[in-house]
Structure 1
């Protein structure tokens, strides 16, 4: 507007005013001269309003017609906005009606409002995975993390697995406790007869053929499922893939991405003869299966007849189930729906995967389908590797988040600490709350096999627990103890990968298959020492176990010695705890004694000492080291205050009390309960273990520096003693007087 039309500032009736809004209200034509006026709404400092008219320059006919057109369009837009508002109000009323209906109906109904048309927020997405063996359970966790990271829908995982994978994954999901995630298992043994007759040159073996049986194996009530290999990583919400089921038409029952290598073209080497395929063939690392349609067309019989015919000339499959899927599609191409290649970017050798994407936003699923995995050659392999490593080391505890507005009350919820009797104003609240934590646990992180030539009825397992700062002790203990071991490792996701690399680089560790390594993922501020012991104890398969610590080296030959001592002590019939005397050295390099005679000589020379004689003599004084020096037969000792020996016991003993975290009273409390159960403590005359020096742990440092830590430990001790007296009655009254 021309500033000369209305001078600034303005004064009307002697009062200061300011312009507020101008509205075009009229355009009068007086003869051939159009005259326009502008209405100004003015507001005075005292709040009074005053309207004035100001003359405007005359408009040309073209300009006048243009303004008329603009006003007409504005009227139309206003009408559309009004209609849209009415529609939104109707939709809101409908949603409220549906929600009310759900509230009044069965509690099992899912209550939700779709966040986006076409993607039902609360629809359960079904995912099937073939997973067998220890190594596969590690791989599948990375896949699951990537799915959980992006997902906004409830998930139901269906695992076709062997007994090992089922045991590991059952414990993992129970302790992970992710909201709106269900898990089902189907025994691999039950489907082996359907595929074991097929010769397979692929490294996956018989398990690489099991996807062929899914329409038969999965429940009849399931109509569709996404099938995934364990070596894929998601870069988007899995609901986007699930949505593609809606575009399948006719008898399209299998959604696949075209193979991105030249394998099925038969051009990789001279005389290369692949199985028949449609064009380049299809990769089966990511599959959409319309189970209902496949059952209707007789899928199991269809693929079997085609496989039998092709095997007469091909003799064996080279790429497991993928060869058979492609042979079927070659003859029945109406079955396949071609997925966009972004849903299976294949990083095998000699692929054309780079044609599938131009930007990172194009990526949907990365498939590490080469036996070389992360070592494949690709223009952007560093980007893909970093994406994979991000999920590999991602803290899985962060994936326990709830799905808003999408809970049916039946699936797992985010882990909540039960604190009905605890209050945040309690000085020891942190101690009491952390004892309730259920830590995410991955059993048998490395390959494990039980000894075929075990010690039978007198066999014994060494039970240990450790954190990352004690990892260097593992190799030495493996050299000192040849028997089975169960080891609980308290680590973060990233530290678990460091442990894996450390173990795979150690010939000593990798050569031992009778050691079970169980990752307990870090959560909270205290080291859950007794929780870890209980995890390791729960996996003991032998009748007896030796409860020790990671910083103690057993004497050479202790395993065989204990297997002889156990039957001699008649432990099968009597409640006995065999005490292994504990010693210590201050030297990081020690010529380890090969016998009791050598150990006594080192004691006399001051190279060795009885354990904690100078800072905590009460812990092992009842062992009676003076008597042990000359003993040739086992002898019984009485329980005393603060006694905490390292003992060999039957595996069916009470668990350690998980209220004791970090440093202090974790073993003392357990020994006290053994005494309450009237166990007899018997010292072995020719057994010993030696504590090796190391830097103080973080928890012992907190104990020494924090008066609150020591105060809470004292309170917990008193509570434990009272609980023990209630549990065991009159024979436990003596513990109430223990300071």
Structure 2
């Protein structure tokens, strides 16, 4: 009898919470409910649902628990570290690392990833703690219909307690080496993740890139793009003082990582004849090459995959399209044929006049006001902005930049 009473109580609580939450969401979207009131009621209702979910799980109603958590997911995009909701945290995991002045860039990055996604996205955001409020305030200012598309957790910058924390943080760019430690610091329920630098802008559905995981063979545990297509302008083959992958090295700004495989794999190296785990390998590798690496953690990844090439999957250059691909003329055939899928504005080009075509894309996505008419508010302004860059090499490739965007906007309801 007691068990039935518990079931009835939980059912009533669920029904009431769903009703309140539906009213809150409707009121917030339509403007009938003041934002401050809506946010307060939404937070309270979400808290109730979260705690009900624990009770439901205790009673072994797993499908109902997942449904409740799904409702929580669409009503509150922030999920604290350690929350049990991480067990139901979306279809695709992305990670970005932000330090210093990279807050705005990271928010534009996240915003772009939500433009065309049809599936839920979960962002693992690693940032200096004084940036956490900026992330929350920025995301909270977005319309609810956008916040429903994803959830996120904010983490402090976290390095192993190996005595090398300060050097890890300063390696190449502030905090950039955090990506090396994602297999160690992300919860083991996260099987795979797409890591992106803050200066990444998605021009297509993230799911299309996530699908590269399905093309991995049984050994591959990561996917990267080659650093240069043309050896004549390659950096690694001309200047590197350490081993690197393939003929021209790889770029790590966009990186698919099967964390489960990375945690389990033993890696070959030139440190000894013994194989080593990921966690055992990083510090000795840094100590050996610290005076020979220019691009920090990217160089360490090149060294690792030089000795373990069978573990790496390579994706085409139009999924990590950088100024290097067009600043001396188009070198990425896939960009011209299929369009640019992911734009990578490295070297600070979003914030200077050196590559105005890249800046035009960044400014357009940054200034986009979440209007439903993408053609009017993204394509048309971007076409105008890119036309003004026609006197530059990358501006001459504006049709490659627009191609995928036009295609996907035309096919977006």
TM-score by length of 2: 0.59
1:369 alignment partner, one of 346, 352, 357: 346
1:183 aligns with 2:141: no
Say if 1:335 and 1:309 are closer, same or farther in 2 by CA, change over 3 A.
same
CA distance in 2, matches of 1:150, 1:217: 29
SS in 1 for 2:207: helix
1:265 corresponds to which residue? 237
| C-alpha separation in 2, matches of 1:352 and 1:304 | 42
Partner of 1:131: 98
Relative to structure 1, the CA distance from residue 275 to residue 150 in structure 2 (aligned partners, 3 Å threshold; closer, same or farther) is same
Q: Distance in 2 between the 1:355 and 1:180 partners?
A: 32
CA positional deviation for 1:172:
2.5
What is aligned with 1:242? 210
**Contact persistence 2:241–2:293 (CA under 8 A):** no
Aligned pair in 2 of structure 1 residues 167, 316: CA closer, same or farther (>3 Å)?
Answer: farther
User: Is the Cα contact below 8 Å between 2:350 and 2:359 reproduced in 1?
Assistant: no
2:115 is aligned to 149
Judge conservation of contact 2:107–2:138 (CA < 8 Å) in 1. Answer: no
Q: Is the 8 A contact 2:245 2:309 kept in 1?
A: no
1:151 match: secondary structure: coil
More strand by share: 1
1:208 paired with 2:169, answer no
Residue in 1 aligned with 2:194? Answer: 226
Q: Are 2:366 and 1:392 aligned?
A: yes
Q: Secondary structure at the match of 2:66?
A: coil
> Does the residue aligned with 2:94 lie in a helix, a strand or coil?
strand
Measure, in 2, the Cα distance between the counterparts of 1:127 and 1:259: 22
The CA deviation at 1:308 is: 2.5
Deviation at 1:304, TM superposition (A): 5.1
Q: 1:331 to 1:150 in 2, by over 3 A?
A: same
State the distance in 2 between where 1:303 and 1:315 align: 21
Against the structure 1 CA distance between its residues 130 and 104, is the aligned structure 2 distance closer, same or farther, given a 3 Å change threshold? closer
Q: State the match for 2:139 in structure 1.
A: 173
* Cα shift at 1:298: 5.2
How many pairs are equivalent? 279
Report the secondary structure of 1:159's partner residue: strand
Matched residues in 2 for 1:199 and 1:363: separation? Answer: 32
Q: 2:317 aligns with which of 326, 341, 361?
A: 341
Are 1:108 and 2:74 counterparts?
Answer: no
Tell me the equivalent position of 1:332.
Answer: 308
Which residue does the alignment assign to 2:332? 355
Q: Distance in 1 between matches of 2:114 and 2:347?
A: 24
Alpha-carbon deviation of 1:286? 0.3
Which structure is higher in helix share?
2
Q: Secondary structure at the match of 1:277?
A: coil
User: Structure 1: any 5+ residue segments left out of the alignment?
Assistant: 1-102, 112-121, 402-493, 495-739
Task: Point out which structure has higher relative CO (alpha carbons under 8 A, 6+ apart).
Answer: 2
After TM superposition, the structure 1 = structure 2 runs for residues 444-593 of structure 1, keeping only pairs within 5 Å, are: none
The answer on whether the counterparts of 2:251 and 2:298 sit within 8 Å (CA) in structure 1 is yes
**Structure 1: which 4+ aligned runs deviate by more than 6 Å?**
349-352
> Conserved in 2, the CA contact under 8 Å of 1:191 and 1:210?
no
Q: Residues 213, 200 of structure 1: CA spacing in aligned structure 2 closer, same or farther, 3 A cutoff?
A: closer
- After TM superposition, the structure 1 = structure 2 runs for residues 596-611 of structure 1, keeping only pairs within 5 Å, are none
SS in 2 for 1:150: coil
Q: Does 1:277 align with 2:234?
A: no
TM-score of the aligned structures, taking structure 1 as reference length: 0.34
Distance 1:309 1:286 in 2: 22
State the Cα RMSD in Å.
3.4
Give 1:386 deviation, angstroms: 2.6
Shift of 1:213: 0.2
CA distance in 2: counterparts of 1:289 and 1:393, whole angstroms: 31
1:164/1:192 CA distance change after superposition, 3 Å: farther
Q: Distance in 2 between matches of 1:190 and 1:314?
A: 17
Match of 1:162 in 2: 128
| Deviation for aligned residue 1:143 | 1.1
Change (3 A) 1:351 1:142: farther
After TM superposition, give the deviation of residue 194 of structure 1 in Å.
7.4
Helix, strand or coil: the match of 2:331?
Answer: helix
Distance 1:210 1:194, change over 3 A: farther
Deviation, 1:142, is 1.3
Cα offset, 1:171, TM superposition: 2.7
1:256–1:144 distance in 2 versus 1, CA, 3 Å: same
Q: From the CA coordinates, give the structure whose radius of gyration is larger.
A: 1
CA distance in 1, matches of 2:339, 2:298: 25
Counterparts of 1:358 and 1:188, CA distance in 2: 35
User: In the superposition, relative to structure 1, how do residues 142 and 105 fare at CA in structure 2: closer, same or farther (>3 Å)?
Assistant: closer
Does the 8 Å CA contact 2:318/2:332 hold for their aligned counterparts? no
Native 8 Å contact 2:192 2:259 kept in 1: yes
Alpha-carbon deviations, 1:236-293, whole Å to 9, x = none? Answer: 00000111111111220011011025111125xxxx6355333211100000000110
Separation in 1 of the partners of 2:299 and 2:112? 28
Cα distance in 2 for partners of 1:340, 1:158 equals 25
Question: CA deviation digits over 1:120-177, x for unaligned, max 9?
Answer: xx962110111123x2111111112211112111111101111112221123233434
Could you tell me how far apart the structure 2 residues matched to 1:105 and 1:372 are? 47
Deviations 1:599-637 (A, max 9, x none): xxxxxxxxxxxxxxxxxxxxxxxxxxxxxxxxxxxxxxx
CA distance in structure 2 between the partners assigned to 1:312 and 1:320 by the alignment: 13
